Structure 1
Amino acid sequence: MKVSKSLPILLISMMLVACGNRVSVEMGGDEEMAAVASPIITAESSAEDKIMSALSAAPDIVSSGATVLDWPAADGEDPGMLREGDNGWTCFPDRFFTPGLDPMCFDGPAMEWVGYWMVGEDPQMSAMGLSYMLMGSYDNSNTDPFAGPPENEADGIVTGPHVMVFPVDATTLAGLNTDHMTNEPYVMFQDTPFAHLMMPIANFDVPGS
């Protein structure tokens, strides 16, 4: 099964853009991994703002050479090429239907994983995949890969800045921590073929903790 060419269409069939304010994230340590304004994207946002949003998802060493794709304005349309890259990474700006900010950057194998997830087929990974979400994320569930939005928005899974690791074999994550409330690495979608490791990389006040 080839998913890489169709991945943008698969992703985009669920995603549009929305409005919001400009925010920034800074993380401590010997080097700041991200300290960049990330605008929440609207249908009227400029290409410059969309690129800024997408690139805020990863460290500069990754994002500087990444391809940036835009979400199309309607279901079924092709993604727009905002910027061509040359390092094998692909970044997307903030999504519309989740609270907060969630731009994202994927390497090639991680893009494969997302493609399988979007068509509901067990991932057949060629190699371990990596993804950056330095602005954080909001997920509908920590256990069900295909859960719809919760009735109460506050019941969603909020994670601060993190890196995702997509293993070749999801069973290698069996038995690892699944508690997303601790700011420690945890497994999302444990005991499913879509299990992957979520690795927070900054202190974050998890809602409800």
Structure 2
Amino acid sequence: MQPRTCLFSVYTLTTTLVPLLVAISANALPTEEVPTSEPGYFAKVRTAAPEQIVAKSTITMKMKDGTNKTLQSGSNGFTCMVGGDGTPLCADENALAWMKAVGAKTEPPNKVGFIYMLAGDTGTNNEAAGQRASHQHWVQTGPHVMIVGPMVKDMPGYSRAVDAADPTQPYAMFPGTPYEHLMLPVTEK
């Protein structure tokens, strides 16, 4: 192969593959890793919501002893964190109360809440909250926002199929349970 042809081939390959790899990595779903260093934690939590939301949010980090450490005090009513499953998220006050109810397996508050998960999630069982060990009814959603609260059960037009949840279309997660909520995939325009 001529040196000039070889250089052209390398150039063509590089200019074709690099943008493709950047696009793929930009759309990668989060890992289950929960960073333990504050810089690593901040970097992951910044992927949860638009920059202007994260910048004015309270950011908390769960410590090894189970307590939460506030890394940043906020002013916009959102709290951002990396969940125990590695999913970065930002939730408003009502959504935080809903998340606590899910974790405690208690009745969720009768309020509408909003959660950003713009990095996507690490997947879960779509039939029952908190059952990650079983991959039965497994669904993993890319970048999305969530509307939570008991009133979402009254919102028609969203798929409520446990086995056929299409994570590229809006759907109800945990259908038929007290923790049913809307998953609304988003794409960058």
Normalising by the residue count of structure 1, what TM-score does the alignment of the two structures yield? 0.67
1:38-117 aligned within 5 A: 40-43=33-36, 45=37, 47-74=38-65, 77-93=66-82, 95=84, 98=85, 102-117=87-102
Q: 1:122 to 1:66 in 2, by over 3 A?
A: same
Partner of 1:31: none
Alignment deviations for residues 167-187 of structure 1 (CA, whole Å, 9 cap, x no partner): 342431466313432511000
1:1-209 aligned within 5 A: 25=26, 40-43=33-36, 45=37, 47-74=38-65, 77-93=66-82, 95=84, 98=85, 102-125=87-110, 127-150=111-134, 156-173=138-155, 176-178=158-160, 179-181=164-166, 183-202=168-187
* Residues 165 and 196 in structure 1, CA contact (< 8 A), matched pair in contact too: yes
* Residues 185 and 198 in structure 1, CA contact (< 8 A), matched pair in contact too: yes
| RMSD value, Cα | 2.9
- Partner Cα separation in structure 2 for residue 89 and residue 65 of structure 1: 8
* Residues 39 and 49 in structure 1, CA contact (< 8 A), matched pair in contact too: no
- Partner Cα separation in structure 2 for residue 72 and residue 57 of structure 1: 20
Could you tell me how far 1:143 is from its partner in structure 2?
1.5
* Residues 31 and 87 in structure 2, CA contact (< 8 A), matched pair in contact too: no
Could you tell me how far 1:140 is from its partner in structure 2?
2.6
Matched positions, count: 161
Partner of 1:13: none
Alignment deviations for residues 99-125 of structure 1 (CA, whole Å, 9 cap, x no partner): xx5201101110110111111111122
Moved over 4 A (4+): 37-40
* Residues 139 and 167 in structure 2, CA contact (< 8 A), matched pair in contact too: no
Larger radius of gyration: 2
Q: 1:65 to 1:182 in 2, by over 3 A?
A: closer
Which is richer in helix? 2
Could you tell me how far 1:49 is from its partner in structure 2?
2.0
Q: 1:42 to 1:55 in 2, by over 3 A?
A: closer
- For 1:71, give the aligned amino acid: K
* Residues 174 and 190 in structure 1, CA contact (< 8 A), matched pair in contact too: no
- Partner Cα separation in structure 2 for residue 187 and residue 155 of structure 1: 13
More displaced 10-residue stretch of structure 1: 131-140 or 166-175? 166-175
| Percentage of identical aligned residues | 26
- Partner Cα separation in structure 2 for residue 68 and residue 117 of structure 1: 21
Determine helix, strand or coil for the equivalent of 2:26.
strand
Q: Structure 2: 5+ residue runs without aligned partners? A: 1-23
Could you tell me how far 1:50 is from its partner in structure 2?
1.0
* Residues 34 and 82 in structure 2, CA contact (< 8 A), matched pair in contact too: yes
